[in-house]
């Protein structure tokens, strides 16, 4: 196991309240990410740091590039298309309620968008995980979720990984790529006590799972279910991570300033920044949404 620091760059010192959901957009070589509680989607050129922002009609939990143009976004009441004409809702989540919001999401290898919900008060079991199968077709796949978080799929497309943060685990499911069906939930990794809450994740070409640790100021890499690497970060609350760049060898990390006291802000001046590091391994290219 490798434990230590790598060079970490600040791409954008955004001060995001709740930065989340980074995804590389292969269409124009930009990183797309969200600030959930500011209701904004950011598109960042990592070479210059120049960032364009798109306001959304409500809090935005996650986005993914859409093959037909623009992005699919998980907003408070369901799934929307944005940045392709006027924002428009394409699927309502029947269980949507004022006390719930989307928190994280990702596109699967077949082009379906998945996103999960949580309660603003983080009440136990109030959220769920949904799969967008097409316009008007959002199916609840997992219920009783507390803080729906990271998603990822293995390179052979046979396994889906998922995080519900308070469980302190990375769970694995058998995944059927043709239908999007999942089965046989089991614990793939149980995180050590005191390292922080498992948040967003991404997967590299060797099958390593990189997990951002909320409150832990670090990212862990797990390989074959075992802790393989610890990367220390200059932010207390990293929220998610994604590989990008021309060769997918750059790891981008979002972070948050949410719930920081004044003393915490002074001790954590980079909170809310978008960071980049080069861990010496490539990630898997992201999929784009084809079902919307």
pLDDT, position 14: 77
Mode of pairing for the β-strands spanning 51-55 and 218-223: unpaired
Segments in the chain below pLDDT 70: 1-5
Provide the pLDDT for residue 3: 44
Q: What is the DSSP letter of 267?
A: H
pLDDT of residue 1: 40
Helices and strands (DSSP H and E) totals, the chain: 1, 25
The DSSP line for 132-201 is EEETTEEEEEEEEESBEEEEEE-TTS-EEEEEEGGG-EEEEEEEETTTTEEEEEEEEEEPPTTS-EEEEE
45: annotated active-site residue: no
Domains of the chain from N-terminus onward: 2-277 (2.120.10.30)
Q: What is the pLDDT of residue 4?
A: 58
Catalytically annotated residue among 25, 199, 204, 268: 199
């Amino acid at each position: 196991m490798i434990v230590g620091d790598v060079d970490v760059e600040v791409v954008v010192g955004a001060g995001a309240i709740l930065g989340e959901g980074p995804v590389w957009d292969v269409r124009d070589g930009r990183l797309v990410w969200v600030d959930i509680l500011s209701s904004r989607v950011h598109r960042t050129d990592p070479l210059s740091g120049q960032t364009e922002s798109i306001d959304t009609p409500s809090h935005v939990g996650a986005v993914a590039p859409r093959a037909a143009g623009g992005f699919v976004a998980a907003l408070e009441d369901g799934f929307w298309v944005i940045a392709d004409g006027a924002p428009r809702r394409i699927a309502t989540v029947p269980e949507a309620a004022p006390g719930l919001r989307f928190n994280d999401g990702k596109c699967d290898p077949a082009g379906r968008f998945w996103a999960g919900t949580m309660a603003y008060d983080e009440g136990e079991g109030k959220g769920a995980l949904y799969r967008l199968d097409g316009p008007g077709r959002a199916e609840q796949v997992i219920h009783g979720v507390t803080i729906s978080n990271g998603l990822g799929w293995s390179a052979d497309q046979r396994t889906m990984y998922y995080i519900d943060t308070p469980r302190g685990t990375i769970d694995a499911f058998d995944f059927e790529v043709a239908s999007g069906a999942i089965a046989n939930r089991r614990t793939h990794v149980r995180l050590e006590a005191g390292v922080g809450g498992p948040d967003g994740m991404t997967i590299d070409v060797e099958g390593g799972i990189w997990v951002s640790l909320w409150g832990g100021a670090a990212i862990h890499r797990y390989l074959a279910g075992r802790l393989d690497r610890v990367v220390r970060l200059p932010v207390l609350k990293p929220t998610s991570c994604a590989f990008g760049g021309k060769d997918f060898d750059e790891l981008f990390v979002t972070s948050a300033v949410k719930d920081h006291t004044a003393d915490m802000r002074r001790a954590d001046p980079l909170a809310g920044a978008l960071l980049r590091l080069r861990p010496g391994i490539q990630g898997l290219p992201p999929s784009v949404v084809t079902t919307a």
